Amino acid sequence: GCWSTALRDSFCRATTYSFGSICMGSLLVAVIQALEALARRARQNEDGQLLACLLECILSCIRDLVEYFNKWAYVYVGLYGFGYIEAGRNVIQLFQQKGWTVLITDDLNDRVLLMMSLGIGALTGIVGAVATMANQNLLADLDLEGGAGGVAFFICFFVGLVFSSILMSVVGSAVDTVIVCFAESPNEFEANHPSLSGEMRS
């Protein structure tokens, strides 16, 4: 169902006693982003630009790894209530045992959802531009002479992109959870839903 027992338990776990684990992952990313900003600022100095550039590149790679690690660790935190480090270790071990490390590395869900968000943003931008051209008074307060349609397009594109990205992040998290659950218990899935299990395997 839409609000099943498993979903309710995971939601309660993630928003109460496992909330600290989720905050821990976010804190790690925030610290790395702050160090990246410091490295970017250090590049503006005349001295040590090469070193600052290398440091920024290394921090960027570390940030990407931590964000990727967070994605799977958060699923385990929500499902089982593990601590952040333990959840990350368990989910990586699960994928290694199943031989799925290549599968999750080549996961294209994020790219597909980003393309969907860009498409929705573009469609929203076109609707905003057409509405502005149909009614010139919509952006009259901005005192734009000829570029009202372009400004409306960019405003609506940004709003559509932000809102659709929020929606698609929920879809992406659901897909990640399905992948983890299928890797964890394929036999139970086969026993309870054989047709869906066959589709997942194929």
Instruction: Quote the pLDDT of residue 32.
Output: 85
Quote the Cα angle for 168-106-161, to 5°: 25
pTM of the model: 0.72
Q: Which residue has the higher pLDDT, 126 or 100?
A: 126
pLDDT score, position 158: 95
- What are the DSSP E strand ranges found in the chain? none
Average pLDDT over residues 195-199: 88
Span 26-54, average pLDDT: 81
In the structure encoding, which two tokens stand for residue 68, read together? 């990727």
Q: What is the largest CA-CA distance in the chain?
A: 66
SS3 content of the chain, % helix, strand, coil (to 5): 85, 0, 15
- Chain mean pLDDT for the chain: 83
Mean pLDDT of 19-37: 84
Which range (29-38, 60-69, 82-91) has the least confidence? Answer: 60-69
